[in-house]
């Protein structure tokens, strides 16, 4: 009985210890012909990968995973691109940025042909 109660208490504590982090997102994609801009906000669970698709950018998926270390947030970002077969393939390797709450972090990806770029600005804030 004691073991069961202790296990239940540990489960409750570990569930409460999971932080939620708000990520304000601002993405700009430019190429030789046009520029596309989108914004959004998501709430992520600490250490849980969350996928995002921006309005008007259906061929792009961005995976986020965030972890807190006191006032610093370690954000892992990876971009995926939709193929003609409606499958998603990694467009980049995972990128990690560390930033304090309330401060923006910028991730820039340049096209290998040097005819375009993607700039993603991420601002983490506390979920209230």
Residue range 2-52, pLDDT digits in tens: 444 444 444 444 444 578 999 999 999 998 888 999 999 999 999 999 999
How many domains does the chain divide into? 1
The candidate with the shortest Cα–Cα distance to 39, out of 51, 30, 28, is 28
| Residue-range definition of the domain harbouring residue 42 | 19-126
Residue 88 placed within a domain = yes
Residue 81 placed within a domain = yes
Whole-Å CA distances, 111 to 28, 46, 103? 13, 30, 26
pTM above 0.75, yes or no: yes
CA angle 106, 55, 20 (to 5 degrees): 55
Residue 101 placed within a domain = yes
DSSP state of 15: H
Residue 109 placed within a domain = yes
**Assigned token pair, 107:** 């991730």
Residue 6 placed within a domain = no
Residue 29 placed within a domain = yes
């Amino acid at each position: 009985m004691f073991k069961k109660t202790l296990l239940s208490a540990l489960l409750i504590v570990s569930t409460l210890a999971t932080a939620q982090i708000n990520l304000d997102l601002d993405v700009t994609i430019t190429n030789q012909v046009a520029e596309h801009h989108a914004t959004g906000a998501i709430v992520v669970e600490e250490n849980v990968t969350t996928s995002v698709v921006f309005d008007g950018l259906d061929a792009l998926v961005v995976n986020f995973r965030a972890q807190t270390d006191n006032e610093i947030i370690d954000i892992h970002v990876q971009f995926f691109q939709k193929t003609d077969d409606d499958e998603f393939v990694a467009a980049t390797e995972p990128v990690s940025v560390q930033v304090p709450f309330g401060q923006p972090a910028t991730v820039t990806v340049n096209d290998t042909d040097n005819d375009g770029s993607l700039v993603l600005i991420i601002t983490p804030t506390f979920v209230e």
